[in-house]
A and B are shown apart, each in its own frame.
Chain A
Amino acid sequence: MNVWIEKQRYIIDFTISSLMRRKVKNIGLLVLYTLIVFILASTMFFTYAIKREAAFILEGSPEIVVQNLVAGRHDLLPVSYLEEIKSIRGVANVESRLWGYFYDSLVGANYTLMTPPQNQDSHKNQGKTTVVENDNGDPHANHEAHALFEYEGALLESGTLIIGNGVARMRGIGKDDYMPFMAADGQIMNMKIVGKLSSVSELVSSDLILMSEADLRKLFGISPDKVTDAIVTVRNPSEIQTVAGKIKKRIHSARPIIRDEILRTYSSIFNWRGGMMIVIFSAAVLAFVIFAWDKASGLSAGERQEIGILKAVGWETGDVIQMKFWEGAIVSLSAFLGGVILAYIHVFFTGSAIFEPALEGWSNLYPNFTLTPFINAEQLTTLFFLTVIPYTVATIVPTWRAATIDPDSAMRHTGG
């Protein structure tokens, strides 16, 4: 065993010195290789991190959302349905929600308008937080509840607003400013801003505006016997499916959506986007593979002579192949590590300047947020498969061709 290790060590020593002798050629290859790893790694880190972010946010969303469908479209939900749902065994609580989108033609963006969660009425003056329960082992978790959005201290009453950071940035407004809206009946409603949502999770709250129920009904012209949708809390998590099934059976026009389904759908969408980017970049990988093949098979006169001499002094074909294997391993490993480190910096420190628009989706109101660094073995293995393996395969045949050169012909060609 020791002999074997010693032998490999000498071969590696020789390989490194031989690589250093041809700096320009090898650095060119290394830079390109690193770039390829960097692009793919950035894509993967970004999609995984954002998927995690979305999952983390959705943890705090209601177990079941019930919408009303009319002619296959999402419609307002009659308040009478709430009682019907409440009577289902296993349902712990039903709350109605009022929300909608408002297009601001001034800045060309859509806001999300919402009334604060209902149980606020009971402690109106205390400020309200919506609480997200954390999983253990979640890097976000500090083993304490963490608010999705909060507006400590601000008092929301008729005629006032609480706005998200994205809205504030876009309109250049802040606390105590006024914001006009045109209501459904054509009247102008001038609302006073009394607070801003905290920036803990801008991904959710960037475009959010909170207003009181009466204002929202007036703004959108929603009659008092209708709400936008309802959220259902179920005591026992394993009953969620059954409860959702019962809701569908009792109210035929209802569309119950379970939290897991939302999670699954988001996860598919982000997988799809990440996969799509990789398919697009596969053209680049292919170009790189051709480049690597070309580099490996186009041996310079000096290299041919070197291999010829090695074989003349007693190296076997197998030894030359081993040398080439180590050469590939050294280049691949350096490029892989370099690319991964650069991608980590790119995604988690510079906010993935290059890819953000493509992967995040389309919107006028960009949230500003930093992703939580998250890397796992799955990402690294996948990356390894997508980059190192194509390179290795591309260099096998050229390597073999180089290793089977006859010593005399190699030296005769170049020795002159």
Chain B
Amino acid sequence: MILHPTVIANLLAAYTSSLMLVYAAYYGLQILRHWNIESGSELQLILERKTYLVSTVLSYVFGLQLLSLFLFVFTADSLRTLFVGAMCAAGTLNVNAFGYPTLVLKVVNFVTSGLWLVLNHADNQGYDYPLIKKKYLLLIVITPFIVLETLLETAYFLGMEPDVITSCCGSLFSGEKKAGLGSELASLPAIPTLWAFYLTVIITLISGLVFYFKNRGGYVYALLSFALFIIALIAIVSVISIYIYELPTHHCPFCIIMEDYSYIGYLLYVLLFGGVVAGSGIGIILPFRKIESLKHALGGFINKLALTSVLMYGAFTVIVTYRIIFSNLIM
């Protein structure tokens, strides 16, 4: 256990959001079981009021989720000095078996939370809570993952043992035994990945524009934007990072958020995460376009999502291309 202020902040955020979410899920369950918009019973009135509480709570929780994703990586990065062989967050996350699973869950939870917010916003457009059951079903699905994330994060931070001087000879030999703690990540061949990345970008952007102007192929775009998200993450590890570091052997996806690279990673990841939430969100709410009370409001919202997503992915590609062209690394 490392009693570092930032670690305490991480755990505080994790437990706060888990508790709030469990609280919200409890009411979500009640809503799923007893919701009846036709009824004027006291229970229904209470539930209608509770929906305001639950959506306020969840907006906070999901905002917190976004912040804590970055805080987590940031913490891992700043703890690197405590471990032999850890050069950045990649090494620190490897200190025990819980680091990477926590990170993966954080990313997954961030995306699903974003999708929930999209659904929530769509629901608020209609006067008769048209999507309420689907919304709370999704909430109940998300909750266990966030609780699991909190548990993994706790295990990760509790299991950390810094390599400090021991009474016999310093931590020299504990260092030797952890020789595999390097920060190098396995990666795909650079140039083919780069081609795959640009090809996906082009197809996705075209499909997004087609959907925006002609209103066709929404599901295709939702799928493509999710695929682009995954491919872009892979591309960051295998090729984009090496252009930013100008070092053909350095594949780390975390060092780009450090000061040395003018925090460009934050911009890239925010664009990427924003792009996937807005893009895939279209796929979530498209089926509800036909609902009577949502007919008018939803079209504009879906268009806005499509535009946001296309712009974010576009900006991501422009920045990445700029860094690749003006990089001193030539391959």
By a beta-carbon cutoff of 8 Å, the part of chain A in contact with chain B is: 43-44, 47, 69, 72, 241, 244-245, 248, 254-258, 260-265, 267-268, 271-272, 274-276, 278-279, 317-318, 321, 377-379, 381-382, 385-386, 389-390, 392-393, 396-397, 399-400, 403-404
Identify B172's interface contact among A244, A267, A279, CB under 8 A.
A244
Q: Smallest CB–CB gap between B267 and chain A, Å? A: 14
Find the A residue at minimum CB distance from B68.
A385
Q: Smallest CB–CB gap between B14 and chain A, Å? A: 10
Check B2–A268 contact: CB distance below 8 A. Answer: yes
Chain A residues contacting B10 (CB-CB under 8 Å) are: 385
Give the distance in Å from the alpha carbon of A278 to the alpha carbon of B5 in the complex: 7
Check B52–A318 contact: CB distance below 8 A. Answer: yes
Chain B residues contacting A241 (CB-CB under 8 Å) are: 172, 175-176
Give the distance in Å from the alpha carbon of A268 to the alpha carbon of B82 in the complex: 7
Check A271–B4 contact: CB distance below 8 A. Answer: yes
Give the distance in Å from the alpha carbon of A63 to the alpha carbon of B17 in the complex: 45
**Quick check: is B6 within 8 A (CB to CB) of the other chain?**
yes
Known: A241-B172, A255-B169. A279 touches B49 (CB 8 A): no
The size of the chain B interface, using a CB distance under 8 A, is 43
Chain B residues contacting A261 (CB-CB under 8 Å) are: 163-165, 170-172
Chain B residues contacting A385 (CB-CB under 8 Å) are: 9-10, 12-13, 67-68, 71
Check B78–A279 contact: CB distance below 8 A. Answer: no
**Quick check: is B60 within 8 A (CB to CB) of the other chain?**
yes
Check B78–A396 contact: CB distance below 8 A. Answer: no
Find the A residue at minimum CB distance from B4.
A271
Known: A248-B169, A271-B2. A390 touches B12 (CB 8 A): yes
**Quick check: is B7 within 8 A (CB to CB) of the other chain?**
yes
Check A396–B60 contact: CB distance below 8 A. Answer: yes
User: Contact string, B58-100, partner A, CB cutoff 8 A, digits 1/0?
Assistant: 0010001001100100110010011010000000000000000
Identify B169's interface contact among A256, A263, A377, CB under 8 A.
A256
**Quick check: is B53 within 8 A (CB to CB) of the other chain?**
yes
Known: A256-B172, A271-B2, A403-B52. A72 touches B82 (CB 8 A): no
User: Contact string, B2-40, partner A, CB cutoff 8 A, digits 1/0?
Assistant: 111111111011001000100000000000000000000
Chain B residues contacting A254 (CB-CB under 8 Å) are: 169
Interface centre among B53, B68, B82, B171 (most CB of A within 10 A): B53
| Shortest 4 CB-CB contacts between residues of A and residues of B | A275-B3, A385-B9, A400-B53, A265-B164
Name 17 extra pairs, CB < 8 A, besides A382-B8, A382-B71.
Answer: A44-B5, A47-B5, A261-B164, A261-B171, A264-B162, A268-B82, A268-B164, A271-B5, A279-B8, A318-B52, A381-B6, A381-B9, A381-B74, A386-B5, A389-B64, A396-B57, A399-B56
**Quick check: is B168 within 8 A (CB to CB) of the other chain?**
yes
**Quick check: is B167 within 8 A (CB to CB) of the other chain?**
yes
Check A279–B3 contact: CB distance below 8 A. Answer: yes
Q: Smallest CB–CB gap between B183 and chain A, Å? A: 15
Give the distance in Å from the alpha carbon of A267 to the alpha carbon of B78 in the complex: 11
Give the distance in Å from the alpha carbon of A168 to the alpha carbon of B27 in the complex: 70
Give the distance in Å from the alpha carbon of A400 to the alpha carbon of B56 in the complex: 8
Identify A389's interface contact among B4, B16, B170, CB under 8 A.
B16
Give the distance in Å from the alpha carbon of A278 to the alpha carbon of B2 in the complex: 13
Identify A396's interface contact among B12, B56, B167, CB under 8 A.
B56
Check B165–A275 contact: CB distance below 8 A. Answer: no
Check B56–A321 contact: CB distance below 8 A. Answer: yes
Total A-B Cβ pairs within 8 A: 129
Check B8–A278 contact: CB distance below 8 A. Answer: yes
Chain A residues contacting B173 (CB-CB under 8 Å) are: 245
Interface centre among B75, B81, B124 (most CB of A within 10 A): B81
Give the distance in Å from the alpha carbon of A382 to the alpha carbon of B173 in the complex: 34
Known: A275-B3, A385-B13. A264 touches B56 (CB 8 A): no
Find the B residue at minimum CB distance from A44.
B5
Q: Smallest CB–CB gap between A259 and chain B, Å? A: 10
Check A275–B82 contact: CB distance below 8 A. Answer: no
By a beta-carbon cutoff of 8 Å, the part of chain B in contact with chain A is: 2-10, 12-13, 16, 20, 49, 52-53, 56-57, 60, 64, 67-68, 71, 74-75, 78, 81-82, 84, 124, 162-165, 167-173, 175-176
Check A267–B5 contact: CB distance below 8 A. Answer: no
Give the distance in Å from the alpha carbon of A281 to the alpha carbon of B227 in the complex: 46
Find the B residue at minimum CB distance from A270.
B4
Q: Smallest CB–CB gap between B262 and chain A, Å? A: 12
Query: Could you name 18 residue pairs across A and B whose Cβ atoms are closer than 8 Å?
Result: A43-B5, A255-B168, A258-B172, A263-B81, A264-B163, A267-B81, A271-B2, A274-B5, A378-B6, A378-B74, A382-B9, A382-B71, A385-B9, A385-B68, A389-B16, A393-B16, A400-B49, A400-B56
Find the B residue at minimum CB distance from A272.
B3
Identify B165's interface contact among A248, A265, A404, CB under 8 A.
A265
Give the distance in Å from the alpha carbon of A318 to the alpha carbon of B56 in the complex: 9
Give the distance in Å from the alpha carbon of A103 to the alpha carbon of B49 in the complex: 72
Find the B residue at minimum CB distance from A47.
B5
Give the distance in Å from the alpha carbon of A274 to the alpha carbon of B3 in the complex: 8
Give the distance in Å from the alpha carbon of A372 to the alpha carbon of B20 in the complex: 40
Known: A390-B12, A392-B60. A72 touches B5 (CB 8 A): no
Check B8–A386 contact: CB distance below 8 A. Answer: yes
Chain A residues contacting B5 (CB-CB under 8 Å) are: 43-44, 47, 271, 274-275, 278, 379, 382, 386
Find the B residue at minimum CB distance from A275.
B3
Check B4–A274 contact: CB distance below 8 A. Answer: yes
Give the distance in Å from the alpha carbon of A70 to the alpha carbon of B85 in the complex: 30
Chain A residues contacting B176 (CB-CB under 8 Å) are: 241, 245
Check B13–A389 contact: CB distance below 8 A. Answer: yes
Give the distance in Å from the alpha carbon of A379 to the alpha carbon of B71 in the complex: 11
Check A255–B12 contact: CB distance below 8 A. Answer: no
Give the distance in Å from the alpha carbon of A318 to the alpha carbon of B165 in the complex: 56
Chain B residues contacting A263 (CB-CB under 8 Å) are: 81
Known: A268-B2, A268-B162. A258 touches B170 (CB 8 A): yes
Check A386–B164 contact: CB distance below 8 A. Answer: no
Q: Smallest CB–CB gap between A369 and chain B, Å? A: 23
Check A267–B8 contact: CB distance below 8 A. Answer: no
Identify A397's interface contact among B49, B53, B68, B164, CB under 8 A.
B53
Chain B residues contacting A400 (CB-CB under 8 Å) are: 49, 52-53, 56
Chain A residues contacting B2 (CB-CB under 8 Å) are: 268, 271-272, 275
Chain B residues contacting A382 (CB-CB under 8 Å) are: 5-6, 8-9, 71
Give the distance in Å from the alpha carbon of A261 to the alpha carbon of B71 in the complex: 26
Find the B residue at minimum CB distance from A399.
B56
Give the distance in Å from the alpha carbon of A254 to the alpha carbon of B168 in the complex: 9
Give the distance in Å from the alpha carbon of A318 to the alpha carbon of B120 in the complex: 13
